[in-house]
Structure 1
Amino acid sequence: MATGLALTMVSSCAVRTDQMAQDPNLVRIAINGWVGYEASAAVLAYILETEMDYDVQLVRVDEQPSWQALDQGVLDVIVENWGHEDLYELYGPDGNDTVVDGGSTGNEGIIGWYMPAYVAEEHPEILEPDGLRENTDLFRTAETGEKGEFLGGSPGFATQDQGMINAFDLDLEIVYAGSEATQLTEVQQRYAKREPVLFYSNEPHWIQEKLDLVKVDFPDYYEGCDADLEYVDCDYPLYDLNKIFRKGFVEDDALSYRFLDNWKWSNEDQNDVAGMIAEEGLDPEEAAEIWVNENRDVWEKWLPEGYETR
């Protein structure tokens, strides 16, 4: 498999290329910084290349610059979008009109605060905000001193955690691990020692299957509760994860677009591939190949109508 991995820098003043000639055999997929996304992209790239004879470029780029890149015509698809209504308003039909909502990936997305079940079993009250407020000292570390630690991943992830800390009057300090991989290494090390840890995570995610984790039960999300990110008195919303396409890619209506438009899979499917990458240490291409070989009945339904594989 000859999938190309490239590091990109997206400039807000870059020249748009959506009106320029595009290589009809090239599909350019954004790679955002979490392993579940990478699992989805790896499987799609593998099928596009090995079964449909497309060239695929996987471009590592953060969430917001991904949208800029679609707008500028230098990427074709974001395969896992977590909300970002503000960006859709900016680049969608009511804004620049350069991106298109590609519909559901089939994955239900949940973001929240998690801890090991063994912590909650000893202190069940901390699964509610009032109980957590009285027990933040359980999560103190040398780095946070008198405050409890809330362990984040990448500072670039979309979060409302500081606003929740403020709204619920929690004596916690956010410590960013720097990346999801670094954060989860730290979580697993503390888990192995049965130490307390409170951290940002999401579902679907392979870590939820590897470790026995529980989610803090904050009040349900309601419209507007996250309007001021300095004061958020609700949990994260539930996300129907979706794809975002470059409008010109949709209008070209190539087989590659139809394939990506048809693609839907389950949280379990994504976790299978993500676990092979993150836990077993396989390259994304290797993990994708294994999943594709074992799940032909799933992915053949994504192929465009009348298309025959090799």
Structure 2
Amino acid sequence: MNTRRIRTTLVAGASALGMTVLSACGAAETNISASDGIVTIAIPSWVGAEANAAIAKHILEKELDIRTKIIQMDEPVAWDALSTGKVDAILEDWGGVPKKEKLYIEEKKTVVPGGDLGVVGHIGWFVPKYFADEHPDVTHWKNLNKYADELRTTESDGKGQILEGSPSYTTHDDAIIKNLGLNLKTVYAGSEAAQITQIRKYVKNKEPFLSYWWTPQWLNAEVEMVEVELPPYTEGCDADPEKVACAYPELPLQKFLNAGFAEKGGEAAEFIKNLHWSTEQQNEVAKWIASDGMSSERAAEKWVKENRDTWEKWLPKGD
């Protein structure tokens, strides 16, 4: 997958995504698209993506009078739907399905790039700062075996645990563990929400832990974590999933549009192409949703009210 970050259904905020579908009109999940007068946006099950879509939906509906439907889909399914036109846009792509990207963008030409979202994503292995302060050398992969016993849990089969989120994540962690000869085992919490709950429990008890984690993520403002240095990422070091022994890359997150929608979607397509905000802005909205208990609609309304100078630039020219 080369320079792509791999997070197919890597859930970065699923605690807030108890929704399966957010719909402007309450319609069922059918082949509704811009051609029906409704813009359909696919989102994965993490809160950062929910924040993007909530903001887009609010502005499309309240400022441009364009009905908008949001559907939660795993990344591979979303790309298929994007190609067929069942979905008009993906607002946050982490490069988890490079083969589908090549097929639909380069070969079939049914999907087109929609530009940078403005948010830079990064996956890594992290330990809590209090553990790193006590054992500074734990922040280098060569020393992780030294701390395997302290990281062991009842689920890690006598090895040190690396806490994962959902089994549907696409990660290189098992390959990295094997190829670097680490005495670790991946243990899945089941979802991002469950992973966050477990991390908070460890932090409350000041227990050591090692976790697959990422930025942007609103929890990083609450829990101080330090990244473990893995062998540096180089172009192509993750090309063969079985041979990966390097760190994850940093990845500017991308938007993608159905080709027909990009061409004929008018103001809606232009707005989505223009949508561009910062990691800090996404984290703010994501925290309101996932941590503060705000609905995505209310969070979007609040952010839009407070940040007119930002989103007015996204509106189609002439509006």
Q: TM-score, normalised by structure 2?
A: 0.88
Alignment size in residue pairs: 297
Spell out, residue by residue over 1:197-253, the C-alpha distance to the aligned partner (whole angstroms, 9 max, x if none): 211111111011111111111122112211222221110111011101100101104
Q: What letter is aligned with 2:178?
A: N
- Residue 145 of structure 1 deviates from its aligned partner by 3.4
| Aligned with residue 247 of structure 1, among 250, 259, 284 | 259
Q: Is the 8 A contact 1:6 1:60 kept in 2?
A: no
- Residue 73 of structure 1 deviates from its aligned partner by 1.3
Cα distance in 1 between the residues matched to 2:55 and 2:27: 17
- Residue 183 of structure 1 deviates from its aligned partner by 0.9
Cα distance in 2 between the residues matched to 1:134 and 1:264: 44
Query: What's 1:199 paired with?
Result: 211
Query: What's 1:88 paired with?
Result: 101
Cα distance in 2 between the residues matched to 1:118 and 1:112: 18
Cα distance in 2 between the residues matched to 1:86 and 1:129: 30
- Residue 17 of structure 1 deviates from its aligned partner by 9.0
Q: RMSD between aligned alpha carbons?
A: 2.0
Query: What's 1:67 paired with?
Result: 79
Query: What's 1:138 paired with?
Result: 150
Change in 2 beyond 3 A, CA 1:4/1:208: farther
Q: How many percent of aligned residue pairs carry the same amino acid?
A: 43
Is the partner of 2:35 in helix, strand or coil?
coil
Is the partner of 1:259 in helix, strand or coil?
helix
| Aligned with residue 3 of structure 1, among 4, 16, 24 | 24
Query: What's 1:48 paired with?
Result: 60
Query: What's 2:15 paired with?
Result: none
Cα distance in 1 between the residues matched to 2:32 and 2:304: 33
Cα distance in 2 between the residues matched to 1:132 and 1:52: 53
Query: What's 2:160 paired with?
Result: 148
The 5-angstrom pairing of residues 115-264 of structure 1 reads 115-264=127-276
Q: Is the 8 A contact 2:176 2:246 kept in 1?
A: yes
Change in 2 beyond 3 A, CA 1:8/1:238: farther
Q: Is the 8 A contact 1:166 1:232 kept in 2?
A: no
Q: What letter is aligned with 2:88?
A: D
Structure 1 stretches of 5 or more lacking a match?
Answer: 10-15
Is the partner of 1:134 in helix, strand or coil?
helix
- Residue 127 of structure 1 deviates from its aligned partner by 0.7
Q: Is the 8 A contact 2:32 2:87 kept in 1?
A: no
Cα distance in 2 between the residues matched to 1:17 and 1:116: 45
Q: Is the 8 A contact 2:52 2:91 kept in 1?
A: yes
Q: Is the 8 A contact 2:32 2:38 kept in 1?
A: no
Cα distance in 2 between the residues matched to 1:35 and 1:205: 9
Is the partner of 1:97 in helix, strand or coil?
coil
Change in 2 beyond 3 A, CA 1:276/1:49: same
Cα distance in 1 between the residues matched to 2:157 and 2:187: 12
Q: What letter is aligned with 1:200?
A: Y
Q: Is the 8 A contact 1:4 1:58 kept in 2?
A: no
Cα distance in 1 between the residues matched to 2:300 and 2:26: 15
Structure 2 residue 27 is the aligned partner of structure 1 residue 27: no
Q: TM-score, normalised by structure 1?
A: 0.91
Change in 2 beyond 3 A, CA 1:5/1:32: farther
- Residue 133 of structure 1 deviates from its aligned partner by 2.4
Q: Is the 8 A contact 1:8 1:61 kept in 2?
A: no
- Residue 5 of structure 1 deviates from its aligned partner by 7.2
